[in-house]
Structure 1
């Protein structure tokens, strides 16, 4: 593993319980934050040293990331973070819109206002993370909000596919500047505005906001 790449991974200790899950969460956050750099190779032992754990849970977590399309396994070398292109990210956005928009439009017409009102804490969590400039925290809150909305459709397969697409769409492009806090705040505000339109039963505004949020 390159020393410059190692330096970008913040040193932190991982508690011993649920080690693999904690390492996986930490690596996912590092992907979103840009601490795991596209094109760089990372070894299990070196990352384990950074997290204060053995190489085994790191390798297990990395194998999960490989299944998710974030890294590729390099026998006897480690794991390379895959490089994404603007075209690939645009394709992800298109697929997400094709999948989520029809479902959300249907839900807007069938879900009672009190159910939408109960989702205000999830929307507020995205605003809180955005205002703090917490990229990884915002990414998690954003996925949680969308997951709660789509869960109303009662389709487990939809949730699984949408979650994977959403996670992939949050990985930054190589060399991309850190997402400004103002952009995060604006995106989080869209959640709040949409939710309030749904609570109010304003279908015209809800439809407009759903399309706008899916096609920024």
Structure 2
């Protein structure tokens, strides 16, 4: 779900204005009973009369029907609203009210909020809803330190072992972060920023590490209750942050370990 699709979900715009489209016309696949399959396999004349296969060949696997996940769409929308600051730190939001804005029931909103509570983005307020967690500069600095402790050693190891051609393949992702930064949209940039870092770390082959690092990265992108910069992350700040991705790739390609260590450290320390 795109940022624009959910922008009015928490601002009080009329229901349906900018709300995410939730499809309810997903194709239904009739469930075939076990008995029908047995009759087909045994050559049931009734099944034959209906034009069904009656030979003893094993049945063909049924294609999987992809159904849109309402909960997943709402979760993406809420995460975008968190990053953009539309969900205000310290404010309490009820599932029914948000559900009305999204054009869905309160259930998928409540489920999505419970996931955000597990991630530490919101906390449950009994009989009221969910409060967006208020974060300070200290927590941001701690997250940056932990990210550096995890990612910098991995990048240094990869710089020694990964061929230059593999790093060149990541150039489009680095360029995508620059384009996203140029929009000035925090949510758009946050998504492309995480995509670049996931691609770099994925070269280590440790999926658990990639997941932990991505979770920390997401938490580091939530806004502060008192932003370090009063105006938030403007285009210039985002563009400077994005430019560091290209510089980091250059250092990785050159296997310049000192440059990798310095650039990565500065990147995490200045992340916001």
The TM-score, its normalising length taken from structure 1, stands at 0.92
1:172 aligns with 2:223: yes
**Contact 1:101 / 1:214 at 8 angstroms: preserved in 2?**
no
Contact 1:126 1:141 in 2 (8 A): yes
Deviation, structure 1 residue 210: 2.3
User: Structure 1 CA distance, aligned partners of 2:173 and 2:12?
Assistant: 31
Would the aligned equivalents of 2:123 and 2:132 in 1 still touch at CA under 8 Å? yes
Q: Does 1:188 align with 2:192?
A: no
CA–CA distance in structure 1, aligned partners of residues 120 and 269 of structure 2: 23
Higher mean alpha-carbon deviation, 136-145 vs 174-183, is at 174-183
Q: Does 1:144 align with 2:195?
A: yes
TM superposition shift of 1:55: 0.9
CA–CA distance in structure 2, aligned partners of residues 12 and 71 of structure 1: 22
Q: What's the offset of the Cα at 1:6? A: 4.2
Pairwise CA RMSD = 1.8
Within-5 A mapping of 1:3-152: 6-7=10-11, 11-16=18-23, 17-152=68-203
1:80 aligned counterpart, secondary structure: strand
Q: RCO higher in 1 or 2 (8 Å CA, sep ≥ 6)?
A: 1
Question: In 2, Cα distance between the equivalents of 1:214 and 1:68?
Answer: 20
For structure 2, which runs of at least 5 residues remain unmatched after alignment?
1-8, 24-67
Offset at 1:77?
A: 1.2
Shift of 1:159: 1.1
Q: Per-residue displacement from partner, 1:164-202 (whole Å, max 9, x unpaired)?
A: 111110011114232111000000000011112323444
TM-score, length basis structure 2: 0.73
Largest Rg, 1 or 2:
2
Aligned residues: 212
How many angstroms does 1:156 deviate by? 1.6
Q: Distance in 1 between matches of 2:135 and 2:88?
A: 11
Q: 1:8 deviation in Å?
A: 6.5
In structure 2, the CA distance between the partners of 1:144 and 1:83, relative to structure 1 (3 Å rule), is same
Gapped regions of structure 1 (runs ≥ 5)? none
Whose helix fraction is larger, Structure 1's or Structure 2's?
1
